[in-house]
Chain A
Amino acid sequence: MTRDLRRDALDGIRDILPPAIAAIPIGLLCGALGAAKGLSPAEMALMCGLVFAGGAQFAAIDLWSWPVPVATLVVSTLLINSRHILMSLSLARRTGHFTWAQRLLGYAVLADENWAMAERRAAGRDLTPAYFLGMGAFFWLNWVVWGTLGAVVGAAIGDPARIGADFAFTALFIGLVVGFWRGHRSTFTIAASLVTAALVYHLAGPPWHVAAGALAGIAAAWLAAEPEEVPA
């Protein structure tokens, strides 16, 4: 354990701290909703630890019934988390120097927030395994703790919308998106994604809006790229 390793891991934890704090009300809410559907704290802990995907967990809990509709839950999860394919494809450019064990472990906890932080880190300097894994481990543990606690305290939390907790996730993502803004071409991407996702949400419902909006935003960036950037 050299000083560099420790410093990088602490850098990762420091960078993920704001999203981790924002995840507290979201995790509590997720656990409380799960408990209301009849899931035990142990089952919530298992879901948070193994699935570790807020959006997909909210959707699964919304769809939850008894007997458990296993196939429906798995398909919904796959659709919502298909955005991870784009995310890991993009981040794979930055982790070529990791060992396979580091990659398979680190990507197991790839989520919107730590992925966004890793991309931001990689834009300025080399992304190290210590940074990526330290951040991932902390963010994972944070989610498991608050999700499980939410199932334990359950209904005592009350209506999360009353204290604006349901908006914390949105505000966090807005902050991350603004951090990725790189001039007018980013505006095309964001506008295309926003409008397409809202439209598809309205017409087809969740979870289709995520893939549709993401692809529209990426298509807009492809179209807006300067002609001289096109390889001859």
Chain B
Amino acid sequence: MRIDPTVLAAVLGMAAVTYLTRISGLFLAGRLRLQGRMKAAFDAAPPAVLTAVIAPMVLATGWPETLAAMVTALAATRLPLLATILVGVVAVVALRAIAG
């Protein structure tokens, strides 16, 4: 059970800034009036954030990943979440095998 002091310092620092980002909205939210365009912008936050995180894998890795992402998106319109993930993983393995 080894914990290096500098590892501990790094982890505590990472944890502290992460916690601040997580709770910051609680303190900012009361100052905003959400309606009209502002409300539309906030409603768009979930898909905008999630899409940005995976964009490199989807568009900047290779054609098998791009095509697998399209297959996954199609599957997501008809299948539950877990089945969608399975389809995506199987598709990427198959397409990577074809790409060689």
Q: Which residues of A contact B (CB under 8 A)?
A: 17-19, 21-22, 39-40, 42-43, 46-47, 50-53, 55-56, 60, 67-68, 70, 73-74, 77-78, 81-93, 95, 103-104, 107-108, 110, 112, 115-116, 119, 161-165, 167-182, 185-186, 189-190, 192-198, 201-202, 206, 209-222, 224-225, 229-231
B85 to chain A, nearest CB (A): 4
User: Which residue of B is nearest A70, CB measured?
Assistant: B10
Candidate in B2, B24, B34 with the most chain A CB atoms within 10 angstroms: B24
Tell me which residues from 1 to 32 in chain B have a Cβ below 8 Å from any Cβ of chain A. Answer: 1-4, 6-15, 17-19, 21-26, 28-30, 32
Classify the secondary structure of A's interface with B: helix
Query: Range of interface residues on chain B?
Result: 35 or more
Task: List residues of chain B with CB within 8 A of the CB of A214.
Answer: 45, 48-49, 52
Q: Can you identify 7 A-B contacts, CB atoms within 8 angstroms?
A: A52-B18, A74-B13, A84-B22, A171-B85, A176-B81, A197-B55, A220-B44
**Interface residues as binary, B34-60 with A (CB distance below 8 Å gives 1, 0 otherwise):** 111111111111111111111111111
Q: Which residues of B contact A (CB under 8 A)?
A: 1-4, 6-15, 17-19, 21-26, 28-30, 32, 34-60, 65, 68-69, 72-73, 76-77, 80-82, 84-85, 87-90, 92-93, 96
